[in-house]
């Protein structure tokens, strides 16, 4: 492999941008280089979240002795030599700036050996090159990056905690394992193996990343629609996740984030997803290069499609056909799912041809060439025949200018989803408003002496009726109880008097790296709340005690809620979320309207409110409604 220097002209054609800003981007660049070098085995070692050390070892082509120096120079790449190459580039890297950029801000060492020659090493410290020297090494390349940003303290300061940085690296490694299931990856953090894949296919890689059970919960796709190939795995109708971190999309082999595809998949799930649930998917799209633009954000995982409508339509119709089990599903499924996970309407037989995602079919099917209009018509038909979900995508005419950013057609569900992002902020606002209202209400409503209340009965098994002087109080027993529990919990929490209740059987929650990092960051606050929570294995946490007042808490839904707020939570403190969750738990634990209370129980409740008739339940509903005798007399026209 020869390394060529790009002319400034070519370089300028490539969107410039910062290549490395975080440890995970170092890992990304180095692993991409190893992949580009044709490695079949890649080992990634990370220490201190990648700040201390990133080392990538591969068994690829290696770098010749005389090219070692060149690898370190800016715009040095063996992957393109002229501007035309830019449009046909097949390798992951091609800008020739990664090594140079990383070497400028770290202590870097490349040790490399090509087949049939000796191994040589070359250091570069903060951009200052050392001397090429012989050193022992196997075929392939070892690139070590130590003390990232040691000479740029300002950038070092911007890095997150080791745990967070490591989580981001892990997340990216997961994506490498999935996108290249033909490569055997070993990934270690601080000397411990986190992932080890064997290069024996996507199913195996999926099991490494998500655990062995994952396949039972997924459909495997292998569809070819209008020349666009859609393969990979999607969660079945009952398998959803509390946030978007279980979604991976690879377009022409590259991991990307793309609104159009995300919206298409999410809309296809439609009613199968409950509030604040997100689909699981690992999808591979192979799209003819002329309708995909890979050079939008050179370092960010963003991709732009020349035609969003076609992509949206294809993904939507394939995913919804499979989920709804319509007759086309068989065309799109790589494997017929096990009987028990087949939806009622899904056809069970015959078994379609099973093709591995990465095996090339013996006779490649000729892509159906269609005009845009034809394809659109057919897609519109597919989508309307799915029908009934109320999630029909709106089709836009293709944009005249290819440079215009065409956003994914947002359907009703997607718009709702956008709103949901603010769910917690909204909840906080409601709580604050309720507190505010409560204060005002209290100012006008005096406290009564519960001993003076005369019990007059119960209405609709919900409202207790009391008479006092010339007024009647209707008390919502559910709201009252809820409020009391909430007050008790909050008071304890604020006075740091929480009591933990050990659980008979500890609860173990399996999470992914990002979720783990998020929970770990909040361990202290959860412990303060009375949860005894610890790391349990690599990406699991164990809850062995819960706050005594939340004994009946449903931990599964509690954590689903905590994790669903992970993405939006940077702005909102977990403490607030937990307080809010306390309110919700209080609701659940409280007496429900509909349960009859005895007179004594009702009185006990009132006594506990200390006669405060201005109380509101944690969600702002009033606990008591007062009706004066005169108001009742007005109703009967006794007085006007
Ligand atoms: P790019 O990948 O865009 O070409 P880099 O700065 O990442 O630029 O790498 C510069 C060059 O160094 C590559 O073009 C390649 O020739 C060589 N190189 C880097 N890493 C490796 C590796 N692991 N194995 C073989 N060659 C490598
Ligand atoms: Mg590169």
75 secondary structure, DSSP code: T
Write phi, then psi, for 464 (nearest 5 degrees): -90, 140
Indicate whether residue 78 lines ligand 1 (CB < 6 A).
Answer: yes
Distance CA 528, CA 523 (A): 8
Domain range summary for the chain, segments of one domain joined by +: 8-203, 211-418, 426-627
Which residues, in sequence order, are CB contacts of 532 under 8 Å at separation 6+? 500, 502, 543, 544, 545, 546
For the chain, the maximum distance between any two Cα atoms, rounded to a whole number of angstroms, is: 110
* Contact 69 CB / ligand 1 (< 6 Å): no
- Residues 6 or more apart whose CB falls under 8 angstroms from that of 563 comprise 242, 243, 511, 515, 518, 519
Rounded Cα distance between 472 and 226, Å, is 72
Which ligand is located closest to the Cα atom of residue 80?
1
Stated pTM of the model: 0.66
- The full DSSP string for 225-278 is ETTEEEEEEEE-TT-EESSGGGEEEEETTEEEB-HHHHHHHHHHHGGGS-TT-E
- CATH superfamily ID and name for 426-627: MutL, C-terminal domain, dimerisation subdomain (3.30.1540.20)
CB of 63 closer than 6 angstroms to any ligand 1 atom: yes
Burial class (CB in 10 A: 0-12, 13-18, 19+), 150: middle
Provide the pLDDT for residue 81.
61
* Shortest-distance atom of ligand 1 to CA 1: 16
Provide the pLDDT for residue 586: 66
**What is the fold, at CATH topology level, of the domain defined by 8-203?**
Heat Shock Protein 90 (3.30.565)
Measured CA to CA, the distance from residue 256 to residue 574 in angstroms comes to 30
Q: What is the pLDDT of residue 253?
A: 85
Ligand 1, pocket-test mutation among 32, 43, 62, 71, most atoms within 8 A of CB: 71
Distance 77 CA to ligand 1 centre (A): 6
26 C-alpha to center of ligand 2: Å?
10
Ligand 1 center to 152 CA (angstroms):
24
* Spatial separation of the C-alpha atoms in residues 265 and 413, rounded to whole Å: 11
Task: Report residue 279: phi and psi, to 5°.
Answer: -70, 155
- 610, two tokens: 């200390």
> Ligand 1 within 6 A of 68 CB?
no
Q: Which ligand is nearest to the CA of 57?
A: 1
Alpha carbons within 13 angstroms on the beta-carbon side of residue 594 total: 2
Provide the b/e sequence for 317-349 (b: ≥16 CB within 10 Å). Answer: bbbbbbbbbbebbbebbbbbbeeeebeeebeee
Q: Which ligand is nearest to the CA of 95?
A: 1
> Ligand 1: which of 33, 110, 141 to mutate, most ligand atoms within 8 Å of CB?
33
- Residue 93 CB less than 6 A away from ligand 1: yes
Q: Which atom of ligand 1 is nearest to the CA of 97?
A: 6
Output the CA 47–ligand 2 centroid distance in Å.
21
Please tell me the predicted confidence (pLDDT) of residue 481: 82
User: Which portions of the chain are predicted below pLDDT 50?
Assistant: 8-17, 337-371, 382-424, 443-444, 571
pLDDT at 80: 60
Report yes or no: 415 and 271 within 8 Å, Cβ to Cβ: no
Fold classification of 211-418 is Ribosomal Protein S5; domain 2 (3.30.230)
Q: Find the 178 Cα to ligand 2 centroid distance in Å.
A: 19
To test the pocket of ligand 1, the residue of 5, 36, 64, 294 to mutate (highest count of ligand atoms within 8 Å of its CB) is 36
Task: State both tokens at 477.
Answer: 């027993």
Tell me, what's the pLDDT at 200? Answer: 94
Ligand 1, residue 91: give the atom nearest the CA. 2
Helix (H, G, I), strand (E, B) or coil at 556: helix
* Residue 98 Cβ < 6 Å to ligand 1: yes
Ligand 1 atom closest to residue 58's alpha carbon, by position in its atom list: 23
The pLDDT value given to residue 354: 36
Q: Is the dihedral of CA 515, 516, 522, 526 positive or negative?
A: positive
Give the 3-state secondary structure percentages of the chain, helix then strand then coil, rounded to 5: 40, 20, 40
Under a CB-based contact definition with an 8 Å cutoff, are residues 394 and 312 in contact?
A: no
Q: How far is the CA of 405 from the centre of ligand 2 (A)?
A: 28
Q: Please, are residues 187 and 170 in contact by the beta-carbon 8 Å criterion?
A: yes
């Amino acid at each position: 492999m020869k390394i060529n220097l790009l002319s400034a002209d070519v370089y300028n054609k490539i969107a410039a941008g910062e290549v490395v800003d975080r440890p995970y981007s170092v890992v990304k660049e180095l692993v991409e280089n190893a992949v580009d070098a044709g490695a079949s085995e890649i080992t990634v070692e990370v220490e201190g979240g990648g700040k201390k050390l990133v080392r990538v070892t591969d068994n690829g082509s290696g770098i010749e002795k005389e090219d070692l120096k060149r690898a370190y120079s800016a715009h040095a790449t063996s992957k393109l030599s002229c501007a035309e190459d830019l449009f046909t580039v097949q390798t992951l890297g091609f800008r020739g700036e990664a090594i140079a950029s990383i070497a400028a801000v770290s202590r870097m060492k490349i040790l490399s050996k090509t087949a049939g020659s000796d191994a040589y090493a070359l250091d570069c410290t903060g951009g200052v090159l050392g001397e090429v020297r012989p050193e022992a090494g196997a075929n392939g390349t070892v690139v070590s990056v130590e003390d990232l940003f040691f000479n740029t303290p300002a950038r070092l300061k911007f890095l997150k905690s080791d745990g967070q940085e490591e989580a981001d690296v892990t997340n990216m490694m997961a994506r490498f394992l999935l996108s290249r299931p033909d490569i055997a990856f070993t990934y270690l953090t601080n000397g411990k193996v986190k992932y080890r894949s064997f290069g024996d296919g996507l199913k195996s890689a999926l099991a490494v990343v998500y655990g062995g059970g994952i396949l039972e919960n997924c459909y495997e796709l292998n569809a070819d629609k209008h020349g666009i190939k859609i393969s990979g795995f999607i969660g079945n109708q009952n398998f959803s996740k509390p946030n978007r971190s279980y979604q991976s999309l690879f377009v022409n082999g590259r991991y990307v984030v793309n609104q159009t595809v995300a919206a298409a998949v999410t809309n296809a799930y439609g009613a199968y997803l409950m509030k604040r649930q997100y689909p699981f998917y690992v999808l591979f799209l192979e799209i003819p290069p002329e309708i995909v633009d890979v050079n939008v954000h050179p370092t960010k995982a963003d991709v732009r499609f020349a035609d969003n409508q076609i992509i949206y339509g294809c993904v939507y119709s394939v995913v919804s056909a499979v989920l709804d089990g319509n007759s086309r599903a068989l065309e799109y499924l790589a494997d017929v799912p096990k009987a028990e996970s087949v939806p009622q309407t899904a056809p069970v037989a015959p078994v379609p041809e099973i093709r591995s995602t990465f095996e090339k079919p013996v006779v490649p099917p000729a892509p159906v060439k269609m005009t845009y209009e034809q394809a659109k018509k057919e897609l519109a038909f597919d989508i309307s025949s799915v029908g009934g979900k109320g999630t029909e995508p709106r089709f836009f005419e293709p944009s005249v200018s290819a440079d215009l950013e065409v956003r994914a057609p947002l359907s009703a569900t997607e718009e709702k989803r956008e709103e949901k992002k603010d769910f917690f902020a909204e909840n906080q606002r409601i709580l604050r408003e309720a507190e505010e209202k409560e204060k005002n209400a209290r100012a006008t409503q005096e406290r009564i002496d519960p001993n003076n209340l005369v019990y007059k009965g119960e209405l609709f098994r919900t409202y207790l009726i009391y008479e006092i002087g010339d007024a009647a109080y209707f008390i919502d027993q559910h709201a009252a109880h809820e409020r009391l529990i909430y007050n008790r919990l909050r008071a304890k929490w604020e006075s740091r008097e929480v009591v933990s209740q050990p659980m008979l059987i500890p609860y173990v929650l399996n999470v992914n790296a990002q979720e783990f990092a998020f929970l770990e960051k909040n361990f202290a606050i959860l412990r303060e709340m009375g949860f005894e929570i610890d790391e349990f294995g690599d990406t699991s946490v164990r809850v062995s005690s819960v706050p005594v007042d939340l004994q009946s808490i449903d931990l599964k839904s509690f954590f689903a809620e905590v994790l669903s707020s992970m993405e939006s939570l940077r702005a909102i403190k977990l403490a607030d979320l937990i307080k809010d969750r306390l309110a919700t738990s209080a609701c659940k634990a409280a007496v429900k309207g509909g349960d009859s209370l005895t007179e004594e129980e009702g009185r006990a409740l009132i006594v506990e409110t200390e006669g405060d008739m201005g109380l509101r339940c944690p969600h702002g509903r009033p606990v008591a409604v007062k009706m004066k005798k005169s108001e009742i007399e007005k109703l009967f026209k006794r007085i006007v």
